[in-house]
Amino acid sequence: MSKEAKEAFDRFIGAFLDNPLQNINERLKRGRTVLHYAAQLSDAGVIRLLIEEGANINARDDNGETALHLAAFSGKVENVKALLEGGAEVNAISNNRAVPLHLACLARRIKTIEVLINSGGNIDAIDKFGCSPLSYAKIYPKVTSHLEKKGVNMRDVPPMYGKANEAVKEIMERRGTKVVSLDEIEEILLSEKTSQKG
């Protein structure tokens, strides 16, 4: 996020909190509260302020996700810590049966993964795709290696590449992020080679 965008969001938060008629737990777009947006766009100080002002730390959006889910996916480790310190449910389950640790592993957020595991994040939680958080982590060699160095047994995690890839695609598309599969990359490269020959 750019400095200007963060400053604009912080101004919005200030104006929001200054309005005595504003409900801090009002559901906005996609059922998200201001805390949901702050979790992915702002910093830990704003998170703490919103909690002090009465924000429902475990409020769920239309996907059943809490602010902790969004902070975990965004890799906002300090926000994750602030939410956990404020009483966020570390194993809150979304409509897809994903806990925040699923999203941190899916997005390869190593520091966030560590914080969630150390705070009691359930490494054995199974989402609607039949994947555990470690199933997603195992897709990424760097994450797997890091977790093994921290003492997490990754050897016993069954590879679920097909199911995990399907899950990654659906989740990323739902979040507005384009995911390109290896087959699509190969197809693009082949079409470029063909067009260069012609």
189 confidence band (pLDDT: 50, 70, 90): very low
Range of the domain at 115: 3-197
For the chain, what is the domain count?
1
The CATH number of the domain where 139 resides is what?
Answer: 1.25.40.20
Three-class SS state of 22 = coil
pLDDT of residue 152: 83
H helices within the chain, ranges in order? 3-18, 34-41, 44-52, 67-74, 77-85, 100-106, 110-118, 133-137, 141-149, 161-174, 182-197
The sign of the torsion formed by the CA atoms of 115, 118, 123, 125 equals: negative
pLDDT in tens, 160-188: 666 666 666 666 666 665 544 444 444 44
Q: What is the pTM of this model?
A: 0.77
**Residue 117 one-letter amino acid:** I
Mean pLDDT of 48-75: 95
- For the segment 97-137, what is each residue's pLDDT rounded down to a tens digit? 999 999 999 889 999 999 999 999 999 899 988 888 988 88
